[in-house]
Amino acid sequence: MAVDTIRVLLERAFPDGEVSVVDRTGGGDHFLVTVASAAFDGVSLVEQHRMVNRALAEPLADGTIHELRIQTKGTA
């Protein structure tokens, strides 16, 4: 369930993006997200990760996501 919710939030934030969400431990609270989007073109890696964190602010705040690993890349 959490994987689908996270995927939807990321797809809304990055509608042109390719999004992958993996439950790393099977426990439903440790995730690896990968997002490739033109929104990241020319943006520093730190800011790219901030953009993903903003998109996932609610599940991060409510504890749905305990640990998050982020991989991002632009399309250029």
Q: Which candidate, 34, 33, 38, places its Cα nearest to that of 67?
A: 33
Token pair 């797809």 in the structure block, residue: 11
Domain containing 62: what range? 2-73
User: What angle do helix axes 2-13 and 45-55 make, rounded to 10 degrees?
Assistant: 120
Domain count, the chain: 1
Which pLDDT tens digit goes with each residue over 12-60? 999 999 999 999 999 999 999 999 999 999 999 999 999 999 999 999 9
Give the domain CATH number at 68. Answer: 3.30.300.90
pTM of the model: 0.93
Burial of 37 (0-12, 13-18, 19+ CB in 10 A): buried
| pLDDT confidence tier of residue 76, bands split at 50, 70 and 90 | confident
